[in-house]
Amino acid sequence: MTDTPLSNGNDRDPWSATTQDLYEALMAYRKANEPAVVATIVDVEGSAYRRPGAKMVIDPGNDSLGAITAGCLEGPVTSLAAQVLDDGAPLVETFDLTDDDEWGLGLGCNGVIDILLEPLDASWGPALSALSDGRPIATVTVTDPSDTALAVGDRVLVDEAGTGQEAADRAALPGDVVAAVRSVLEDLQPNAESASVTVETGDGAATLFIDWMTPSPDLLLFGSQNDIHPVSRLAREVGFRVIVASARGARSDAKQFPHAHEVRMTRPMELADAVDDPERTYGVLMSHNLLEDRLALTSLLETEVPYIGLMGPRKRFDELRDALTAEEDRELTEAELERIATPVGLDIGSGEPIHIALSVVAEALAAHHGREGGRLTDRAGPIHARLDLSP
């Protein structure tokens, strides 16, 4: 497989690649002008290991990156990818994992899965450019044209402002078809969700797959002590773009933090300057210096960052609040306190450094997905929300 910029080398299982890994791999293929096939789940009826929008990329050597199932479909999908590479044409394949005669018993999935396989052609260029620039973007792709004049793979791109753009190497969608899914695009945009929807065209019904893709969230770590290392490593492995901000010039060399995507020398009172996109940035303050953490907290609270984790016990936070009142005549509001998580992390009952890092990263990830981080066994209903969409 082409050497792609996976997080921290090639020692990870390609199956466990994150969305960030996939985006970086797709960008690398496009930059090198090398062929590849993108396989995307476009619809699920029943339950499945992954939901619509999950992707994997396959190259001509049958090497793959990413996962669309727990493993049961990777072989058949790889075989279909070879056909797409030969034909150069997108196709949609349906896999009925409820068919025990074909798939056997005991699968983790119990649903019907539709998968779009398509060449990594020029139609991907605008989407990858947008992601590289930190901008979300949606692709609207025909997956079932029925008896219309459309074809599988016809596509238009739509940015966050709702502006449509034709995709090179693909036939464009008629304006009335795009208009028919406008409301669904808007419904899916806030949470960057993906779903299939059937619309009526001038000559019949067609199914379109709307795939909102968004840049990976940033985890901004403020500090330079040793506990930064396991947090930054785990954060990168789960798909965060990791930024380490150090107030120590000698500790702001990128070589000091090999798992970070970026290392910045930042004074604590200017930490807000390290926030590129407040809506997708999650901060963790772990300088172990009360004054620096206080200044950094004040700086981040001036932004719209939704989550700020603060390392240390509650007593330390009480001291920080007292200092805010005494030194800055500042009282934290209820809204600000809602954004602050201290002690940072989920309660997993361990104090080992790697376990502390796991609890910190897990809480930040839960915050990104709007969850509390509780046990799934205590959650009623499906793990993933089921979308009820109609144009």
At 249 the pLDDT is 65
Show the domains of the chain with their CATH numbers. Answer: 14-120 (no CATH), 135-213 (no CATH), 218-368 (3.40.50.720)
Q: How confident is the model at residue 47 (pLDDT cuts 50, 70, 90)?
A: confident
Model pLDDT for residues 66-93, shown as the tens digit of each residue: 988 876 788 899 999 999 999 999 999 9
Task: Give me the pLDDT at residue 387, please.
Answer: 60
Please give the pLDDT value at position 250: 57
**What's the pLDDT tens digit per position in 88-115?**
999 999 988 776 555 444 444 567 899 9
Lowest pLDDT segment from 9-13, 262-266, 347-351: 9-13
Which residue do the tokens 């479909």 mark?
73
How would residue 378 be classed by pLDDT, with cut points 50, 70 and 90? confident
pLDDT at 23 (0 to 100):
93
| pLDDT, tens digit, 9 for 90 and up, residues 117-135 | 999 999 999 999 999 999 9
- Which pLDDT does position 98 carry in this prediction? 76
Rounded distance between C-alpha atoms, residue 277 and residue 190, angstroms: 15
Query: So what's the pLDDT on residue 104?
Result: 46
* DSSP-derived pairing of the beta strands 155-159 and 55-58: unpaired
pLDDT of residue 255: 83
Query: Residues 73, 95: contact at Cβ < 8 Å?
Result: yes
pLDDT tens for 152-200 read 999 999 999 999 999 999 999 999 899 999 999 999 998 889 999 999 8
Share of the chain above pLDDT 90, in %: 73
Q: What is the mean pLDDT of residues 200-215?
A: 91
**CA separation for the pair 217, 214 (Å, rounded):** 9
pLDDT of 147 reads 78
- Mean per-residue pLDDT of the chain: 89
The phi, psi pair for 166, rounded to 5°, reads: -70, 155
Q: Confidence class of residue 365 from pLDDT cuts 50, 70 and 90?
A: very high
What was the pLDDT predicted at 200? 87
Q: Say yes or no to pLDDT of 43 above 80.
A: yes
Can you give the pLDDT at residue 100? 54
pLDDT at 254: 75
pLDDT tens digits for range 234-275? 999 999 999 999 987 656 677 889 999 999 999 999 999 999
Per-residue confidence (pLDDT) for residue 99, from 0 to 100: 64
The DSSP-derived string for 155-218 is: EEEEETT--EEE-TTSPPPPHHHHHHTHHHHHHHGGGT-EEEEEEEETTEEEEEEEEEE-PPPE
pLDDT at position 106: 47
Q: Is the pLDDT of residue 347 over 70?
A: yes
Pick from 11-15, 236-240, 369-373: least confident: 11-15
Rounded to 5 degrees, what angle do the CA atoms 380, 383, 386 make?
100
- The per-residue pLDDT for 384 is 61
Question: Are 198 and 207 in contact, with CB atoms under 8 Å apart?
Answer: yes
